[in-house]
């Protein structure tokens, strides 16, 4: 959002909201600003549809396996939309799924360095 708007990286939700509004003014129909970079115990994303900002909070999870969070979130939103969910509901469900995948990621031991989130956490037993 900072790169798109030409602003500094948001340090709080108020700035995230301002960036979402700026992106909307550039022609977007809705905006989701991720908040995992904020320095607190919550990883709160903001969804803005042009009228209402919806907070999508989740407890921060300490893990080395956080590779693919953005791709996973966008794919989960697309899957929700394909299933007929309204956009904001698809975003909420995707956030819930991603948080569970991040929370379960510590069970994975793949490669070296930062690993992936656990996409199959519902089905894969250790």
Return the CA Rg of the chain: 15
Q: Which two tokens stand for residue 43?
A: 């990883």
Looking at beta carbons, which pairs linking 87-96 to residues 24 or more positions away fall under 8 Å? 87/30, 87/49, 88/47, 88/49, 88/54, 91/32, 91/45, 91/47, 91/54, 91/56, 92/47, 92/54, 92/56, 95/45, 95/56, 95/58, 96/58
Q: Quick check: pTM over 0.95? A: no
- 42-78 per-position pLDDT tens digit: 999 999 999 999 999 999 999 888 888 999 999 999 9
> How distant, in Å, are the alpha carbons of 47, 83, 86 from that of 50?
9, 23, 15
- pLDDT tens sequence across 15-51: 999 999 999 999 999 999 999 888 889 999 999 999 9
Quote the percentage of the chain above a pLDDT of 90: 73
Tokens 């929700």 correspond to what residue?
80
Distance CA 9, CA 2 (A): 5
Q: Rounded to the nearest 5°, which phi and psi values hold at 35? A: -120, 20
Contacts of residue 73, Cβ cutoff 8 Å, sequence gap at least 6: 32, 34, 94, 95, 98
* pLDDT value at residue 108: 81
């Amino acid at each position: 959002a900072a790169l798109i708007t030409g602003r500094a990286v948001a340090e709080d939700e108020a700035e995230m909201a301002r960036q979402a509004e700026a992106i909307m003014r550039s022609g977007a129909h809705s905006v989701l600003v991720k908040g995992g970079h904020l320095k607190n115990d919550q990883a709160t994303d903001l969804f803005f549809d042009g009228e209402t900002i919806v907070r999508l909070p989740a407890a921060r999870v300490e893990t080395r396996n956080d590779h693919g969070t953005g791709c996973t979130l966008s794919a989960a939103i697309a899957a929700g939309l394909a299933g007929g969910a309204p956009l904001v509901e698809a975003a909420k469900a995707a956030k819930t799924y991603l948080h569970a995948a991040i929370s379960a990621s510590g069970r994975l031991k793949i490669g070296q360095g930062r690993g992936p989130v656990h996409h199959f956490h519902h089905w894969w037993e250790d």
